[in-house]
Amino acid sequence: MSIFDFKGMICFIGAGSLVAAAPAIPSGPVSGQVVDDQGKPVTGAILVLECQASGFHKRLKSDGRGGFTFGGLPANDYRLTVRAPGFSTAYRDLPVRSGQPLEVSIALELASATVMVESNPRAATEPGALRQDVVKTESIPAEEMQKTGATSLTEALTHRPGVDVQVECSVCNLRSITLDNLPGRYTTLTLDGIPIFSPVSNAYGLDLLGVNGLERIDIARGAGTSLATPESLAGTVNLVSRTPTTDSLEGDVSRGDFNYQRETVYGAKVFDWGAISANGTHQRHDSVDGIGDGISQFTGYDRYMGGLGLFLNDLGGFKVKARFDRIQDKRMGGPLGDDYDGVLASTTGNPFNFSAGPNGSPSPNSWINPSTGTLVAPYDQGAAGLAEIIFTSRDQFVSTAERQFGDTRLHLGLGYAQHEQSSWYGGDSDYWDHQRQGYLDANLQSLMGGALITLGASFKYEGLHSDSISETPGSPYFGILRHDVDAYLYRTPGVYLQGYEVFFDDRLEVSASLREDHNNVFGSITTPRLDVLWHHSSTLSSRVALGTGYRLPSSFFEQDHGLLSAYAVDRSQAKPERSKNISYALTYAEDRMAVTGSLNHTQINDMATFVDNVAGDFLLLPALHPFIVTSADVNGTYKVTPSDAVTLGLEAYHYTFDSQDANNAVLFSRPNYRVSLSYDHEAGPWDFNVRSTFTGPQNLAKWYDYADNPQYNLNGTPKINTSPTFLVVDLHTSYQFTRYASGYFGVTNLFDYQQAKHDTFLYSGPYGNLNVTHIWGPNIGRQFVAGAKLSF
């Protein structure tokens, strides 16, 4: 007797027993609904119900609502198989017992061979947008970055409606990403959804994030827009790694003005079990001085970035994605060039010319003390006195794993980063820090009733240790090595719940989430969020979002290097910063035109300010007044001809804040409005893109609190109260020579508009103390870049 015959006998006996035991009592029906991975009904799915024991076999199709019913079933063990085009086949083992009806919900996953479209600007309102862990409001695909010639995160995000990059130091190129023109430190960065960046790493780290090996950048404007990042007071920027689908090898070499050099390589190999990828980038740039004072207005750098990716289709049932990156960066601002040792050895004399540029000093070696109207003592601190030399190295690892258990998806996330910085701030301090960050996350996502429920828990670790030596002669710690002046350690476990459901035939999508975190210093913090998306038609959608976020005061060294000269950093009165945000977006998109308009209102309470008190301590204090930004923006693209498209963007901002708070929180000036106009020409092998941005006036007197901290030119005249408007035009063109080879050429800041030619970054305080952060405009002029790319 073969095994099949044996099983057949058991089936026969089993069936006979059941018939004998309960011959006339069929069980309740098996019914349910077939839905897709977004919870939407799948019509016409083929359902096959079989019983091996009895030989029962019945086949039917799901109805218009994805529903099905198998009636009159004898009690037995059945297997249900569900198939639908484009989806993976699903199986369910159903123990049908007499008496009770059985209700099952079958969620089909898209077949692995199918992919989801990633549309770009309207991601905020595309169907299913709200069900993601990161509720994005826009997305920048790799093609768009390539079209504009962007090579780093900061270049990719410059001058976009509601999104920009702000320079916060003219001699160290500290930059931040601003969302809805809120301060850059309120933007949270994530890598594949995992938050392993901090204010310390972002201070000089944004430039280190290349776009090589990225599939897209997702932007989520608004507080708490990501389940994983309640600390995003202004929003989240998520870098999404490219998952290889085919074998590929790409190389890209470019050269430009100011000795700009860039070489990148990306390779991927796809196997039956998954894929591996590797990428590497080298970039360097000379420091730039546009007015001849010998002081850089754009920091020179030399950096190496390398990464490895591993993608496993099935590791114990899990689909795994992992990447490791190593980054090394050297930069120097203040004196020009890259002779770091030579600069550090230059501690006397004056290599600079303080009389160069608009409103320069009458003397090249000194400047006017506004309180006396006379020249201060000649500068005698050498090149080192104004130098900022920062060496950074960073290792980061992130991994995600997903497995489906019936209707439930288990998602695991792991992240680790080690960030080291060695820096010299001329006249302020010598500073070394070592930061570690870790992140663990696990969540379950399942259909319950009609709702998609995500329930998860996470643990976040962030610690900083530092060594520092004050270089301020007046400091009691001058020349003394100190440990952990600005150290901190945060451990934050949290739990979260998100529900997502569609109503009215998919026209209404609602997502609500609640997060509860417990920080070891600040205790419990709750952050709720609600998103509602209404599809008026296939072309018109509205979205309303409201939420809150919180941010723990961490390192404030990036805000004020001078704190290392103080007796102590007093955190006893510190509070988490909190934000409340509400926004509305209306999107219209058809074949030739897409327009999105949005209104945003964000209020930051307890903004962290740094106050130098009479005892010489730096007090970390919550601001007494809220910081409020209300904005409106419209962005529209129209395909004028088959090969030409025009994009117009308008942004208007209204700020409510206290000047003293802004100055103590080291905020930088922002414009009242911005207008952008882009033209794209795409025909045959040619791609041509011109992007112009007109920036409105900035109330410098208010932002920089001239009333309490007046700023003067080096000739003693007051700094301007309001910045002039300015226009920046960038263009980029590429030509595809063959299937494998292309070339490109670009010009940034075509009309060479530089702030320093109108109003230098340098300023003097009322008693002649020199500073470098009077910032409102571009810090680098016209730059030509050309390159070639090979793709196999």
**Among 77, 71, 75, 82, residue whose Cα is nearest residue 53:** 77
For strand 488-503 and strand 627-641, is the pairing parallel, antiparallel, or unpaired?
A: unpaired
- Closest to other proteins by CB, 492 vs 541, is 541
In whole angstroms, how far apart are CA 121 and each of 137, 224, 422, 593, 647? 8, 20, 39, 12, 12
- Give the binding-site size for other proteins (rule: CB under 8 A): 56
- Binding positions for other proteins, 60-89, rule CB under 8 A: 85-87
Note whether 536 binds other proteins by CB under 8 A.
Answer: yes
Note whether 590 binds other proteins by CB under 8 A.
Answer: yes
Burial class (CB in 10 A: 0-12, 13-18, 19+), 103: exposed
| Residue 752 beta carbon to other proteins: minimum distance, rounded to whole angstroms | 30
Rounded Cα gap, residues 427 and 389, in angstroms: 12
β-strand partners of 649: 635, 676
| Residue 692 beta carbon to other proteins: minimum distance, rounded to whole angstroms | 19
Note whether 594 binds other proteins by CB under 8 A.
Answer: yes
Note whether 538 binds other proteins by CB under 8 A.
Answer: yes
β-strand partners of 67: 33
Whether the CA torsion 547, 411, 163, 699 is positive or negative: it is: positive
Token pair of 748 as six digits: 């940034």
Note whether 646 binds other proteins by CB under 8 A.
Answer: no
Note whether 617 binds other proteins by CB under 8 A.
Answer: no
Note whether 115 binds other proteins by CB under 8 A.
Answer: yes
Note whether 110 binds other proteins by CB under 8 A.
Answer: yes
CB burial string 336-363: b at 16+ within 10 A, e below: bebebeebbebeeebbbbbbbbebbbeb
| Residue 413: partners with Cβ closer than 8 Å, 6 or more residues away | 193, 194, 228, 398, 399, 400, 439, 440, 441, 442, 458
**Residue from 31, 81, 120, 715 that binds other proteins (CB under 8 A)?**
120
Q: Which residue has the tokens 């007093």?
A: 570
Note whether 591 binds other proteins by CB under 8 A.
Answer: yes
| Residue 363 beta carbon to other proteins: minimum distance, rounded to whole angstroms | 48
- Closest to other proteins by CB, 2 vs 112, is 112
Token pair of 76 as six digits: 């037995």
In whole angstroms, how far apart are CA 45 and each of 81, 86, 453, 503? 10, 11, 24, 21
Note whether 121 binds other proteins by CB under 8 A.
Answer: yes
- Closest to other proteins by CB, 405 vs 638, is 638
- Binding positions for other proteins, 421-480, rule CB under 8 A: none
Rounded Cα gap, residues 116 and 450, in angstroms: 22
Note whether 588 binds other proteins by CB under 8 A.
Answer: yes
Note whether 272 binds other proteins by CB under 8 A.
Answer: no
- Binding positions for other proteins, 682-711, rule CB under 8 A: 682-685, 687
Note whether 231 binds other proteins by CB under 8 A.
Answer: no
Task: Lay out the site mask for other proteins across 27-56 (x = CB under 8 A, - = otherwise).
Answer: ---------xxx-x----------------
Note whether 126 binds other proteins by CB under 8 A.
Answer: yes
Note whether 111 binds other proteins by CB under 8 A.
Answer: yes
- Closest to other proteins by CB, 124 vs 569, is 124
Task: Lay out the site mask for other proteins across 181-210 (x = CB under 8 A, - = otherwise).
Answer: ------------------------------
| Residue 586 beta carbon to other proteins: minimum distance, rounded to whole angstroms | 9
Rounded Cα gap, residues 452 and 445, in angstroms: 7
- Closest to other proteins by CB, 15 vs 690, is 690
Token pair of 785 as six digits: 């870049």
Q: Which stretch binds other proteins (CB under 8 A): 107-115, 364-372, 470-478, 702-710?
A: 107-115
Note whether 540 binds other proteins by CB under 8 A.
Answer: yes
In this structure, which amino acid lies at residue 760? T
Note whether 508 binds other proteins by CB under 8 A.
Answer: no
- Closest to other proteins by CB, 2 vs 538, is 538
| Residue 630 beta carbon to other proteins: minimum distance, rounded to whole angstroms | 18
The answer to whether the CB of 451 falls within 8 A of the CB of 501 is yes
Which three-class secondary structure string do you get for 137-185?
A: CEEEEHHHHHHHCCCEHHHHCCCECCEEEEECCCCCCCEEEEECCCCHH
Token pair of 433 as six digits: 């820090």
643-648 own/partner pairs: CB under 8 Å, 24+ apart: 643/681, 643/682, 643/683, 644/679, 644/680, 644/681, 645/679, 645/680, 645/682, 646/677, 646/678, 646/679, 646/680, 647/676, 647/677, 647/678, 647/679, 647/680, 648/675, 648/676, 648/677, 648/678
**Residue from 31, 98, 119, 733 that binds other proteins (CB under 8 A)?**
119
| Residue 163 beta carbon to other proteins: minimum distance, rounded to whole angstroms | 17
Side-by-side strand order, sheet with 57-61: 57-61, 46-50, 76-83, 90-96
Looking at 504-570, which runs of residues are DSSP E strands?
508-519, 523-535, 540-551, 569-570
**Among 528, 392, 517, 400, residue whose Cα is nearest residue 461:** 517
- Binding positions for other proteins, 373-412, rule CB under 8 A: none
| Residue 330 beta carbon to other proteins: minimum distance, rounded to whole angstroms | 34
Note whether 248 binds other proteins by CB under 8 A.
Answer: no
- Closest to other proteins by CB, 146 vs 631, is 146
Q: Which stretch binds other proteins (CB under 8 A): 122-130, 251-259, 418-426, 660-668?
A: 122-130
| Residue 588 beta carbon to other proteins: minimum distance, rounded to whole angstroms | 5
Note whether 114 binds other proteins by CB under 8 A.
Answer: yes
Note whether 245 binds other proteins by CB under 8 A.
Answer: yes
For strand 102-107 and strand 30-35, is the pairing parallel, antiparallel, or unpaired?
A: parallel
**Residue from 209, 332, 645, 750 that binds other proteins (CB under 8 A)?**
645
**Residue from 736, 743, 749, 788 that binds other proteins (CB under 8 A)?**
736
Token pair of 92 as six digits: 């369910």
Q: Which stretch binds other proteins (CB under 8 A): 114-122, 425-433, 474-482, 517-525?
A: 114-122
| Residue 738 beta carbon to other proteins: minimum distance, rounded to whole angstroms | 9
| Residue 666 beta carbon to other proteins: minimum distance, rounded to whole angstroms | 36
Rounded Cα gap, residues 287 and 259, in angstroms: 9
Rounded Cα gap, residues 221 and 124, in angstroms: 10
**Residue from 592, 646, 654, 708 that binds other proteins (CB under 8 A)?**
592
| Residue ranges binding other proteins (CB under 8 A) | 36-38, 40, 85-87, 110-111, 113-117, 119-122, 126-128, 142-143, 146, 245-246, 506, 535-540, 588-592, 594-595, 637, 639, 641-643, 645, 681-685, 687, 734, 736, 739, 742
